[in-house]
Homo-oligomer: A and B are copies of this chain.
Amino acid sequence: MKKIAILGFGVVGSGVAEVLTQNKKIIESKLNEEIEIKYILDLRDFPDSPFADKVIHDFDIILNDSEISIVVEMMGGSHPAYDFSKASLLAGKNVVTSNKEVVAKFGTELLQIAKENNVRYLFEASVGGGIPIIRPINNDLVSNKITGIDGILNGTTNYILTQMNENGTSFADALKDAQAKGYAEADPTADVEGIDAARKIVILSSLSFGKCISPEKVSRQGITQVSTEDFEIAKSLGYTIKLIGHAELINGKILATVSPRFIPLSNPLAHISDVYNGILVEANMLDKVLFYGKGAGKLPTASAVVADIMDIAQKMSNEQAPIIEWTNATDEDIADINDYLCKRCIIANGEAIITEKINLADAEKIAASYSANYKIYSIL
């Protein structure tokens, strides 16, 4: 039997308990052993929950309990999630998380500590919710050199853009609708400004290229300036608009961007609607593969967390597991945004010009020659 502790009993944390309970039989038959939730750490009590008797408020109980071999960090935010994860790994406990903020900011250090302590730090649910993407990149694409990634990584913004595209809804109304449906938070900044997507592209880029750039170094643009007129122009030219997290190597340096982009309708990403996510990976042998599914939601995300728990339960030692490891990128590892050439759509005076592959500075020069008031979309 493996005993685990869940840190944080919010949406995903309680989802993990639900998956472990509801799919108990199937999980145990695959593992040939039980997974028992011994503790749930939260500031609150949950007297009406079937897990009420597991709830504790003192992390040290978990840290000092040698029976706990897996800590499931579902707290969100940087602190104390990072601190508890680090302490757990240092104490020789495996850690599973869905916390993209911690992985993007502190992943390098935590993976190193895990390695030194012969335990594992897994984070399948940090990108794409329930969609398998971290493990497939690390296990299945392992014989490939990854050359590029393009992902619809944020369900909230994809829902908003889908409403704008399909129903001609304005950004403001689509955002209100998303908030009413519970897809967007009261303060939607992290979603609509691309901050969430930037963390995720950092994780995917670190996995793919072995160097982790700071989320602040991602060239990032949100969707607040996208208008229904832009969608009409895109449509008339055979495109749609999606918020894309993009990463590639340019002369060995990492380019990572988040921006609303024109997507040709022939690209499978163009047809990923509503709160769904899709991640297109390009690799040197495999060409392109796409992973698609619900990028959020209690049970889908929790099922990815439980897959990580089961992976660890099968391979408690990291010696036989494919290790995830990357180093921090220095400024020299990061590509200059102006070394990135792609086709652009310049919108000025209500007209659209599609360019050849050019860099942003040149696109801006062309745009400025038409009007002081312009928009530039890069084209995927």
Contact = CB atoms under 8 A, between A and B. Distances in A.
Given A287-B294, A303-B283, A322-B314, A140 B144 contact: no
A347 B294 CA distance: 35
Contacts of A284: 22-23
A53 interface: no
Contact of A140 (B136, B272, B289, B299): B136
Contacts of A256: none
A6 to B, nearest CB: 15
Instruction: Tell me how many chains of this kind the complex includes.
Output: 2
Contact of A294 (B288, B314, B320): B288
A131 B37 CA distance: 35
A268 interface: yes
Contact of A285 (B143, B145, B290, B299): B299
Contact of A135 (B136, B143, B302, B320): B136
Nearest to A16: B143
Interface string A11-48: 00000000100110011001000000000000000000
A131 B287 CA distance: 10
Given A143-B19, A144-B303, A287 B283 contact: no
Contacts of A30: 142, 322
A215 interface: no
Interface string A280-304: 0001111111111110010110111
A45 B23 CA distance: 53
A37 B356 CA distance: 45
Among A23, A132, A310, chain B packs the most CB atoms within 10 A around the CB of: A132
B303 A286 contact: yes
Nearest to A32: B323
A286 B26 CA distance: 15
Chain A interface category by residue count:
35 or more
A287 B271 contact: no
A213 B242 CA distance: 42
A7 to B, nearest CB: 19
A140 B293 CA distance: 13
Given A143-B27, A285-B23, A285-B302, A293 B294 contact: no
Interface of A: 19, 22-23, 26-27, 30, 124, 130-132, 135-136, 139-145, 266, 268, 271-273, 283-294, 297, 299-300, 302-304, 306-307, 309-311, 314-315, 320-322
23 contacts: A19-B285, A22-B284, A23-B144, A26-B143, A26-B144, A30-B142, A130-B287, A131-B289, A132-B140, A136-B140, A139-B311, A141-B303, A143-B303, A143-B306, A268-B272, A283-B303, A285-B299, A286-B299, A287-B294, A288-B293, A289-B292, A290-B293, A291-B292
